[in-house]
């Protein structure tokens, strides 16, 4: 898994999210914002990853972090996915790929022997000042959430 650490500032962005809300990066009250980009609602890997974030949610809150999932799915799809899994955090809808493009997560991938353009599973941690403090790209679902949480717990 590719990891990097940087102190780049992330440009503010807003996007629609579940619960009839609009996500805006600027002014997030949490010390850390965890954005996890995933390919598609209701697929096996994305379901497993979302459940892992759900199960660790109290620990993320104790580490002063809020979690947001992002994919190109519609708000309606996100509301259904969130309800079905009982997710305690909001999902951001990015059908125009504006946020995906900003974070550079759109990639050509092989699916059933064909080249398709889709989201590369990635996670980003942004601090309260809008600085990117950690990123994971090409994420494998197993143990990823524990690794993100471990990083957050190591922060002063």
Residue 100 annotated in active site: no
Residue 143 to residue 148: CA distance in whole angstroms: 9
- In this model, does residue 8 exceed pLDDT 90? no
Tell me the per-residue pLDDT of 47-62, one tens digit each, with 9 for 90 and over. 999 999 999 999 999 9
pLDDT value for 81: 98
pLDDT value for 7: 65
Q: How many CA atoms lie within 13 Å of 25's alpha carbon, on the beta-carbon side?
A: 18
pTM score, whole prediction? 0.92
Catalytic residue among 46, 70, 91, 139: 46
Residue 100 to residue 118: CA distance in whole angstroms: 10
Residue 25 to residue 27: CA distance in whole angstroms: 6
Residue 86 to residue 26: CA distance in whole angstroms: 27
Confidence band of 4 (pLDDT split at 50, 70, 90): very low
Residue 105 to residue 41: CA distance in whole angstroms: 16
């Amino acid at each position: 898994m590719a990891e990097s650490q940087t102190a780049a500032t992330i440009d503010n962005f807003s996007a629609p999210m579940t619960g009839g809300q609009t996500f805006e990066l600027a002014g997030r009250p949490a010390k850390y914002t965890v954005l996890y980009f995933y390919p598609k609602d209701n697929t096996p890997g994305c379901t497993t990853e979302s459940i892992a974030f759900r199960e660790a949610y109290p620990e993320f809150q104790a580490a002063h972090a809020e979690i947001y999932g992002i994919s190109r799915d519609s708000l309606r799809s996100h509301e259904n996915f969130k309800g079905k899994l009982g997710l305690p955090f909001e999902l951001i809808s990015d059908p125009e790929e504006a946020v995906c493009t900003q974070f550079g997560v759109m990639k050509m991938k092989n699916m059933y022997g064909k080249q398709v353009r889709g989201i590369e599973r990635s996670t980003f941690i942004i601090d309260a000042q809008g600085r990117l403090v950690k990123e994971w790209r090409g994420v494998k679902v197993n143990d990823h959430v524990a690794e993100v949480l471990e990083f957050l717990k190591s922060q002063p």
